[in-house]
């Protein structure tokens, strides 16, 4: 037998971003992550995904940390490994479309603070919403990876995926990611999809999936055999369930094959040893729900991402309507169809989910409509793959004329206005971006930071005055 050409599969480790976002609501703090950075830097990962997504919001809101400071600390620690972030296209790391000047400045500052690879996606797969971010990444010499938000439905044929992959390549992206946030991609479908994409484009292809439905490691195996270049995995204590397949398992699987990563299992074991007590503590405190670690086959039935399932549960709990869970789950695909059958990923997942909850709890569909539902139906998030349900559109936005252009074309530059609003709190250039994304949360954080600094100053003054023995 002729020896097969060696083609080691590249690994993106997600424990510092997606894994803890998916399992413990993004609550790993910088202090919890930094001590292991040195070891992680020796593995040989293609990249560590460590920033963006919900980490930015969670740092400011719950951990009272400056996300930019976290990024700089990662950059200091990872001397040999590329840092990757997740970026929601024109929505940046927020939940609404921003003007181009904010998108460009955010990309510039992300790269300046240490990001190498920017994974950019749009919740509707509207390519027009990716262009500004991709161009900005090109300009900053960052690697622009564009993600297809993977989903199922009549419109989502192989032809659809290969066509947008070609568009992505032409747009100037450096690689493509198949972003399967719900774990819907089945092993044999991965063979077909990866094969078709490899035929259609020349740039490398990364597969990102979640273990939610239980098929993910088989899907990776088939994808790698079909020629996928990169897979996203999480070190075992933060793997499986709503997170990614385990790094060590995939490394072992490909050992001795042409796809061998060459990673040192002993080193991976030491990294796992570090994270295991953190995972156990999260289980003890209730932060990690053991349900998130099992196979959730409903995700295949309802095509709902794991994170969205837990959001729906908590929304219903707040309304004391937990018994309506299955009604809401069945309403989700109906709302999704009404809204043009978009993929369910931030922010479309929140918009569809919240509207489904309203529709069920109010006892009449679209009796109460969120601003975001109206905005989607007005074209403000971009174009959907299928047309909207016209009756629903009429009921929600009346005679308002929907827009059909790229939504950001209608947005005036925002940076100057934002700078004006937050000038009194500014300590670094990046603060305006934190404020742009989360005005209230960032302002509270700035005030907290100010109070902390005052405290430190007072302590220093006391020490000078001899209040503390030296
Ligand atoms: Co993910």
Per-residue pLDDT tens over the stretch 258-295: 999 999 999 999 999 999 999 999 999 999 989 889 99
Alpha-carbon gap, residue 28 to 243, rounded angstroms: 14
Pairing mode of beta strands 117-121, 143-149 = parallel
Q: How far is the CA of 196 from the centre of ligand 1 (A)?
A: 22
What's the gap in Å between 208 CA and the centre of ligand 1?
A: 7
More confident residue, 77 or 462: 77
Neighbours of ion ligand 1 (CB under 5 A): 18, 181
The CA 422 to ligand 1 mean position distance, Å, reads 32
Residue 140 φ then ψ, to 5°? -85, 0
pLDDT of residue 302: 81
Gap between the Cα atoms of 12 and 312, Å rounded: 29
What is the CA(366)–ligand 1 centre distance, in A? Answer: 30
CA of 209 to the centre of ligand 1 (A): 6
Contacts of the segment 318-325: beta carbons below 8 A, 24+ positions apart = 319/357, 319/361, 321/360, 321/361, 324/360, 324/361
Ligand 1 centroid to Cα of residue 188, in Å, is 20
pLDDT score for 460? 63
- Using the predicted structure, report yes or no on whether residue 310 has a pLDDT greater than 80: no
257 three-class SS? coil
Q: How far is the CA of 312 from the centre of ligand 1 (A)?
A: 18
CA of 179 to the centre of ligand 1 (A): 7
Closest CA relative to residue 287, chosen from 63, 31, 39, 49? 63
* Residue where the block lists tokens 């994808």: 223
Question: Of the candidates 298, 332, 289, which has an alpha carbon nearest to the alpha carbon of residue 312?
Answer: 332
* Ligand 1 mean position, distance from CA 416 (Å): 33
Which tokens in the block code for residue 281? 């503590």
Task: Give Cβ neighbours of residue 161 (< 8 Å, ≥ 6 apart).
Answer: 148, 193, 196, 197
pLDDT average, residue stretch 52-60: 96
Query: Taking 60 as the threshold, does the pLDDT of residue 162 lie above it?
Result: yes
Rounded-to-integer distance, Cα 445 and Cα 70, Å: 15
Tell me how far the alpha carbon of residue 183 lies from the centroid of ligand 1, in angstroms. 9
Residue 403 is inside which H or E element, if any?
none
Report CA(242)–ligand 1 centroid distance (Å): 9
- The whole-number pLDDT of residue 470 equals 42
Can you tell me the mean pLDDT for 377-392? 97
**Bigger pLDDT: 200 or 300?**
200
Listed residue (369, 378, 425) closest to 403, CA to CA:
378
* Tokens, residue 98: 């921003």
Spacing, Cα 252 to ligand 1 middle (Å):
22
Q: How far is the CA of 307 from the centre of ligand 1 (A)?
A: 9
Residue 422 has pLDDT above 70, yes or no: yes
- Cα of 14 vs centre of ligand 1, distance in Å, is 9
Average pLDDT, the chain: 94
Q: Report CA-CA distances (Å) from 465 to 133, 286, 426, 452.
A: 52, 46, 30, 20
pTM: 0.93
């Amino acid at each position: 037998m002729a020896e097969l050409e060696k083609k080691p599969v590249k690994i993106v480790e997600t424990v510092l971003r997606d894994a803890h976002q998916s399992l413990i609501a993004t609550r790993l703090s910088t202090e919890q992550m930094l001590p292991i950075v040195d070891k992680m830097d020796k593995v040989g990962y293609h990249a560590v995904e460590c920033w963006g997504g919900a980490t930015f919001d969670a740092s400011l809101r719950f951990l009272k940390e400056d996300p930019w400071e976290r990024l700089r600390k990662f950059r200091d620690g990872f001397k040999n490994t590329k840092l990757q972030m997740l970026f929601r296209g024109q929505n940046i790391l927020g939940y609404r479309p921003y003007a181009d000047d904010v998108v460009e400045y955010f990309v510039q500052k992300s790269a300046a603070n240490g990001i190498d690879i920017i994974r950019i996606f749009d919740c509707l797969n509207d390519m027009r919403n990716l262009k500004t971010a991709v161009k900005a990444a090109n300009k900053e010499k960052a690697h622009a990876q564009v993600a297809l938000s993977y989903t199922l439905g009549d419109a989502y044929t192989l032809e659809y995926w290969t066509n947008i992959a070609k568009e992505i390549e032409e747009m100037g992206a450096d690689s493509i990611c198949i972003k399967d946030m719900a774990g819907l991609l089945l092993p044999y479908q991965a063979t077909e999809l990866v094969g078709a994409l490899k035929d259609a484009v020349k740039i490398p292809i990364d597969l990102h999936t979640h273990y939610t439905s239980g098929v993910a490691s088989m899907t990776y195996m088939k994808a790698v055999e079909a020629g996928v270049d990169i897979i996203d995995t999480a070190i075992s204590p933060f793997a499986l369930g709503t997170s990614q397949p385990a790094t060590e398992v995939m490394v072992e699987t490909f050992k001795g094959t042409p796809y061998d990563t060459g990673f040192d299992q002993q080193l991976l074991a030491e990294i796992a040893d570090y994270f295991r007590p953190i995972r156990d503590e999260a289980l003890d405190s209730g932060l990690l729900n053991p349900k998130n670690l099992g196979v959730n086959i409903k995700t295949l039935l309802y095509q709902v991402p794991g994170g969205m399932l837990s959001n729906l549960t908590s929304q219903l709990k707040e309304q004391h309507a937990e018994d309506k869970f299955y009604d809401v789950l069945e309403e989700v695909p109906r709302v999704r169809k009404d809204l043009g059958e978009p993929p369910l990923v931030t922010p479309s997942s929140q918009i569809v989910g919240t509207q489904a909850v309203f529709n069920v709890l109010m006892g009449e569909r679209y009796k109460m409509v969120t601003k975001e539902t109206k905005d989607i139906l007005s074209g403000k998030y971009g174009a959907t793959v299928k047309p909207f349900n016209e009756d629903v559109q009429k009921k929600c936005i009346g005679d308002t004329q929907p827009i059909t252009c790229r939504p950001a074309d209608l947005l005036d530059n925002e940076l100057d206005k934002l700078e004006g609003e937050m000038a009194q709190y500014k300590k670094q250039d990046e603060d305006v971006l934190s404020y742009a994304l989360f005005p209230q949360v960032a302002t509270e954080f700035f005030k907290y930071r100010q109070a902390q600094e005052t405290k430190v100053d007072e302590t220093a003054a006391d020490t000078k005055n001899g209040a503390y023995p030296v």
